[in-house]
Chain A
Amino acid sequence: MKQTLKGYIVVFRPAFVWGLIGLAVVFASSWFYQFVVLSPLLRILLALLPLIPGGLFLFYLVKGIRGLDELQQRIYTETATLTFIVTILLTFLFGSLQRAGLYTARWDDIGNTMMFVWVCIYILNDWRYR
């Protein structure tokens, strides 16, 4: 089953669902901060809340990857390694730009960039073994 698109969907469905829940929690907590007066304790709890779906997303992502065959695991491992390195470089770049007063990175710049880089590197790596 894991050789087919349907297999991929089954393997990664829990991670996908928890990722969506995580995003919903992030947006919901942002809305609460903006429109509802909360006590400091509630603000802290709300800030930590996305960690739960985020942690489950990572757990099921790793579980999904471990359920793939060895070549796919290799592709994912190479992708993660390269993405990590590129993200570090980009973090330094954002830091340099900020120090130079040219651009102040927002908190989600790194995350979004990392996801974009992940997709690009995955497509390249997958193509290499086609």
Chain B
Amino acid sequence: MKNHLRDLRADRGWSQADLAERLDVSRQTINAIETEKYDPSLPLAFKIADLFELKIEEIFVPNKGK
């Protein structure tokens, strides 16, 4: 699944570690989501959406054909 997490994080001037701290996950998790190696669970996706004050679908974009 594609996402805009890296851009959103960069807009706020946060490092991966900063975002990880805010979401209470590991930096590895943030990196894996940003590089699209890992799709977050629904609760984490909601947490991310809450943090950025956006809707989930404004952050995560499903791959076409999947």
Known: A3-B20, A130-B31. A72 touches B26 (CB 8 A): yes
Contact of A3 among B26, B32, B38 (CB under 8 A): B26
* Residues in A neighbouring B27, C-beta threshold 8 A: 3
Seen from chain A, the residues whose Cβ lies within 8 Å of a Cβ on chain B are 2-3, 68-72, 74, 128-130
Contact of A71 among B17, B21, B24, B32 (CB under 8 A): B32
A42 smallest CB distance to B (angstroms): 47
The contact size tier of chain B is 10 to 19
Q: How far is the CA of A2 from the CA of B41 in the complex (A)?
A: 18
Question: Chain B binding site: helix, strand, loop or mixed by DSSP?
Answer: helix
Q: How far is the CA of A74 from the CA of B33 in the complex (A)?
A: 13
List 15 additional A-B contacts (Cβ < 8 Å) besides A3-B21, A72-B26, A128-B37.
Answer: A2-B26, A3-B17, A3-B25, A3-B26, A68-B26, A69-B25, A70-B40, A70-B41, A71-B25, A71-B29, A129-B28, A129-B32, A129-B37, A129-B38, A130-B32
Whether A71 and B20, one on each chain, are in contact in the complex, defined by CB atoms closer than 8 angstroms, is: no
Q: Residue B44 at the A interface, CB < 8 A?
A: yes
Known: A129-B32, A130-B31. A69 touches B24 (CB 8 A): yes
B47 smallest CB distance to A (angstroms): 11
- Find the B residue at minimum CB distance from A69: B25
- Find the B residue at minimum CB distance from A72: B26
